[in-house]
Amino acid sequence: MAGTDTSKQVVFRPSPAVILVEPQLGENIGAAARAMANFGLWDLRLVNPRDGWPNERAIAAASRADHVIERVQVFETLDAAVADLHVLFATTARNREMFKPVIGPDVAADRANAAIGQSQGVGILFGRERWGLTNDEVALADALVTLPVEAAFASLNIAQAVLVLAYEWRRAALADVPLPFEEDKGEPATLEDLSGMVEQLGEALDRANFFKSPEKRPGMMNNFRAMFARAGFNVQEIRTLRGIIASLDRRHERPNPTRQTKAECGGD
């Protein structure tokens, strides 16, 4: 999806840190950074990346998520990377047979949001591309996060997993924030606005002899009111519809181009 707007400022909200343990491919680091930037995360921590840092392939794959790339922190050990955090989640697709709660990404995001609301540092731990996290690394976490993937094909690319968790975080943290280009619905029409339009329509239909049976008019007018009420029009839409009704109602006042042409040709 295209949609990067460089005219807008990045908002560095309090958010979880994303910790990648011994990532191998720079492309995966960059793609993870891009996923983070999409959903407002910016604290990316790398534990002993195989190809060192900085990494040109990561920078290219980040696709202009520069504010994330520029803030990358590199640590030699996982202990050092999580030392300042209060709550840690470990992502895994395997049963670890540990006495730790296993939760989904939505629950993890809700808990992370609550912890950050109490000024606690939160981290989400992601393992190596080929074999994930060790049991010792998982043991540091407060809970295990697993995604509802197909059991026969449960392995996700690191960037994909980061994207899912980042999305869930934003959903939880910014639930009341409208979508970036959500349409302004305008001032809602009042019942008086709606009633006026329906009455205007009824009068126009009377002049057009629409109601063949006068006794059916009240019921049909009620149907019109119910139909338009369900639409949830705003004030401007009501004005537009009233203009359309008025224009159609006055159409007999305008010359008919077809008849004019016939008259000029001597037709009936």
Verify that 99 and 160 share a domain, yes or no. Answer: yes
pLDDT band of residue 11 (cuts 50, 70, 90) is confident
Tell me the pTM.
0.68
Verify that 122 and 222 share a domain, yes or no. Answer: no
Verify that 205 and 147 share a domain, yes or no. Answer: no
Q: What's the CATH code of the domain at 149?
A: 3.40.1280.10
Residue 7 in domain: no
Verify that 229 and 109 share a domain, yes or no. Answer: no
Residue 135 in this model has a pLDDT that exceeds 50: yes
Range of the domain at 253: 191-264
Residue environment code for 66-77, b if the CB has 16+ CB neighbours within 10 A, otherwise e: eebbeebeebee
Q: What is the pLDDT of residues 178-208, one digit of tens each?
A: 655 555 677 888 999 999 999 999 999 988 8
Residue 6 in domain: no
CA 260, chain centre distance (Å): 56
Residue 184 in domain: no
Closest CA to 41 of 124, 110, 117, 101: 124
CA–CA distance, 125 with 19 (Å, rounded to integer): 5
Residue 11 in domain: no
Residue 192: both structure tokens together? 């008086």
Verify that 156 and 208 share a domain, yes or no. Answer: no
The number of distinct structural domains making up the chain is 2
Verify that 158 and 219 share a domain, yes or no. Answer: no
Residue 209 in domain: yes
Q: What is the pLDDT of residues 78-116, one digit of tens each?
A: 999 999 999 999 998 777 677 788 999 999 999 999 999
